[in-house]
Amino acid sequence: MPYDIIIADDHEVIINGLITMLGNDYFNFQKVNSLSELDSKLSDSTHLLLLDINIGEVSSISSISSLRSKYQQLKIIIFTSYHSPALRREAAAAGAHAFLTKDTSKEKLLDTIGKVLDGPTNHIFHPRKQIIQEVALQDPFLTDGILSERQLEILKLVAHGNTSQQIAEALYISKHTVQWHRKNILSKLELSTVGEMIRYAYEKGLV
């Protein structure tokens, strides 16, 4: 039985190109050009939504939470031309399962779709080490959604070999605060040692 996938984008050429590129016996595609049309096409049988951030000059991120509440089985991948860490964080907070830019390769897109479809529905809200490793999508999307700005900053400084005292002096905060953030970073990413933290930062391209 094929997966039902809706592509929501207000550029017809993008939609048709995706359908041509991804078409196979495992995917059944529908296309929509507006958020109002999307609401009429979604159903309890829809498995995945490829969602552009701006549809008809309206931000679609604000609709993610209500869509996931109404269709609890629905997986959502943001598919956009914007390379923006801020938008990645916003999408993650809203409940999107992944964030890809439109210059991504066919292989990465297919790989991401497969991992999101096979993954747990709420992995953004219940991050686990294996999910971070398997559904990281080769960018810091999940990291940005899990860690605060300050924690990301400290993670990068740790990866560059700075001690807690050096980080405290650089950020004008106490050593105790740095150590508290480091403990929370390890906990959130389900890592055990500083070495694992440094390796994680390099694997995610954060340094």
Q: Can you give the pLDDT at residue 7?
A: 93
Q: Three-state DSSP class for 98?
A: strand
Q: Report the C-alpha gap between 35 and 64 in whole angstroms.
A: 11
Would you state the pLDDT for residue 79?
92
Q: What is the pLDDT of residue 57?
A: 64
The Cα 137–Cα 159 span in angstroms is 21
Q: Give the model's pLDDT for residue 136.
A: 38
**Nearest CA to 38 among 60, 69, 16, 13?**
60
- pTM flag (> 0.75): no
What pLDDT score was predicted for residue 124? 43
> Taking the CB of residue 124, how many other CB atoms lie within 10 A of it?
24
What is the pLDDT at residue 131? 32
Question: What is the structure's pLDDT at 140?
Answer: 45
- Per-residue pLDDT of the chain in tens (207 residues, 90 and over written 9): 788 999 999 888 888 888 888 877 788 899 998 888 888 899 999 999 999 988 876 778 888 988 999 998 999 999 988 877 777 878 888 889 998 888 888 888 888 888 888 876 554 433 333 333 333 333 444 455 678 778 888 998 998 888 999 998 888 888 888 999 999 899 888 889 998 898 888 877 776
pLDDT at residue 177 in the model:
87
Tokens in use for 19?
């359908």
Q: Give me the domains of the chain, ranges plus CATH numbers.
A: 3-128 (3.40.50.2300), 147-203 (1.10.10.10)
Residue 75 has a pLDDT of 93
